[in-house]
């Protein structure tokens, strides 16, 4: 199925520590999304890119996260100072650009636990 | 703001019996609908995508879309215990970079 690769699968951080997650999108997919899924199955859109450019991001991401999708390197999402409420599954997804169809293919996620 | 709701929250069916899941959305201009499933604490697997009213079949999974009624459903034919998972409805527009809005999920359990 999906060939979106996310690392690490799990990370445990103390409050105030940085937490960095990486994502290799499916080959040939220029569009990349990051979502946060909490324990209640609620999905929060964080940021998306097309090629190396940010398309949209929410305020929280802009203020507390650092994210990039450099060419020829994995995309990354880094929380600058982890808080307990950041504990969640962070999902990366990639897709082709429209009009080819923009099915999002998801990786298995990075589960962050902030203690 | 788009609201997507799924029902039921949980569903138990016997192996081989049809499973039917429902999803309603609030923005009638939406034109991109997907069903995903998620086995516990894993990534999302896309099952079927549908963009226009009617039916779309992918193997044992069939989606029905009725945009006038703001409703999309998923029917699983001959479900197996390995189909036990959380099923998620996702709604957006067809354009690159369009955000998906997810429903809260339906937890399906298939009894042998």
Give the integer Cα–Cα distance in Å for A44 and A69: 19
Mean pLDDT of A32-38: 95
- Quick check: A102 pLDDT over 90? no
* pLDDT above 70 for A2: no
Provide the pLDDT for residue B97. 63
Q: What is the pLDDT along chain B (112 residues), one digit of tens a residue?
A: 889 999 999 999 999 999 999 999 998 888 889 999 999 867 899 999 998 999 999 999 999 999 999 999 999 999 999 999 999 999 987 665 678 899 999 999 999 9
Between the alpha carbon of residue B11 and those of residues A55, A100, A107, B86, the distances in Å are 37, 35, 26, 10
Q: Residue A104: what pLDDT? A: 87
Q: Which two structure tokens, joined as six digits, stand for A34?
A: 């990051």
Q: What is the distance in angstroms between the Cα of A18 and the nearest Cα belonging to chain B?
A: 23
pLDDT grade, residue A68 (50/70/90)? Answer: very high
Between residues B72 and A96, the one the model is more confident about: B72
List CB contacts (< 8 A) between A50 and chain B.
96-97
Whether the CB of A69 is below 8 Å from some CB of chain B: the reply is no
Number of CB atoms found within 10 A of residue A82's CB: 23
Query: For chain B, first and last CA: distance in Å?
Result: 41
For A71, the token pair is: 């060419």
Compute the distance between CA of residue A37 and CA of residue A34 in angstroms, rounded to an integer: 10
pLDDT at B98: 74
B41 CB neighbours in chain A (<8 A) are 89, 109, 111
B98, with CB counted inside 10 A (0-12, 13-18, 19+), is buried
Phi, psi of B82 (to 5 degrees): -70, -10
pLDDT for the residue A88:
96
- State residue B2's pLDDT score: 87
- At residue A1 the predicted structure's pLDDT band, cuts being 50, 70 and 90, is low
The secondary element (H helix, E strand) that includes residue A59 is: helix A59-64
The pLDDT of residue B76: 98
What does the alpha-carbon distance between residue A60 and residue A46 come to, in Å, rounded to a whole number? 8
**Among B82, B96, B101, B103, which would you mutate to test the A interface (most chain A Cβ atoms within 10 Å of its Cβ)?**
B96
Judged against a pLDDT cut of 80, whether residue A108 lies above it is answered with yes
What is the predicted pLDDT for the residue at A85?
Answer: 95
For residue B44, the chain A residue with the least C-alpha distance is A106
Let me know: does B19 contact B79? Beta carbons within 8 Å: yes
pLDDT tens digit sequence for A36-52: 999 888 999 999 999 89
């Amino acid at each position: 199925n999906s060939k979106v690769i996310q690392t690490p699968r799990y990370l445990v951080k103390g409050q105030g520590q940085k937490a960095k997650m990486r994502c290799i999108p499916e080959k040939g997919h220029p569009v990349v999304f990051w979502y946060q899924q909490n324990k209640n199955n609620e999905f929060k859109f964080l940021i998306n890119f097309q090629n190396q450019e940010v398309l949209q991001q929410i305020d929280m991401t802009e203020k507390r996260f650092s994210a990039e999708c450099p060419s020829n390197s994995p995309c990354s999402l880094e929380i600058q100072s982890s808080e307990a409420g950041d504990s969640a599954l962070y999902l990366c997804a990639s897709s082709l650009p429209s009009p080819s169809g923009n099915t999002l293919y998801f990786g298995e996620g990075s589960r962050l636990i902030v203690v | 703001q788009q609201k997507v709701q799924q029902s039921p929250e949980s569903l138990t069916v016997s192996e081989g019996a049809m499973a039917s899941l429902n999803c309603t959305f609030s923005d009638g201009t939406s034109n991109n609908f997907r069903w995903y499933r998620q086995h516990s604490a894993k990534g999302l697997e896309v099952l079927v995508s549908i963009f226009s009213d009617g039916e779309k079949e992918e193997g044992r999974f069939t989606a029905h879309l009725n945009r006038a009624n703001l409703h999309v459903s998923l029917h699983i034919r001959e479900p197996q215990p390995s189909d036990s998972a959380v099923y998620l409805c996702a709604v957006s527009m067809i354009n690159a970079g369009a955000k998906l809005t997810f429903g809260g999920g339906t937890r399906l359990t298939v009894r042998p």
